[in-house]
Amino acid sequence: MSKNSSIKCDVTSCKHNLGSEHYCSLDCIKVGTHEANPTVPECTDCLSFEKKCGCN
Ligand code: SF4
């Protein structure tokens, strides 16, 4: 995995996350929302998230 310096991310339980560097390793991610009318950052989600194995 190599760091994508354009995508900062703190979600260390994601298998695409470079935990110590707080960056994503994907070339591209997809962001979506679970709200009908998103108004704050908490309304958005990274849809490229995949759970890292063995990190329960
Ligand atoms: S896929 Fe999404 S949640 Fe996972 S490291 Fe990349 S930006 Fe973060």
| Per-residue confidence (pLDDT) for residue 31, from 0 to 100 | 98
Q: Which of 20, 8, 5 is nearest to 46 (CA)?
A: 8
Domain ranges (residues) in the chain? 1-56
Distance (angstroms) between ligand 1 centre and the Cα of 40 equals 19
Distance (angstroms) between ligand 1 centre and the Cα of 3 equals 11
* pTM for the full predicted model: 0.89
Blockwise average pLDDT, block size 10, the chain, 56 residues: 96 94 97 98 98 76
Q: Indicate if ligand 1 lies below 6 Å from the C-beta of 4.
A: no
Task: With beta carbons less than 8 A apart as the criterion, state whether 9 and 1 touch.
Answer: no
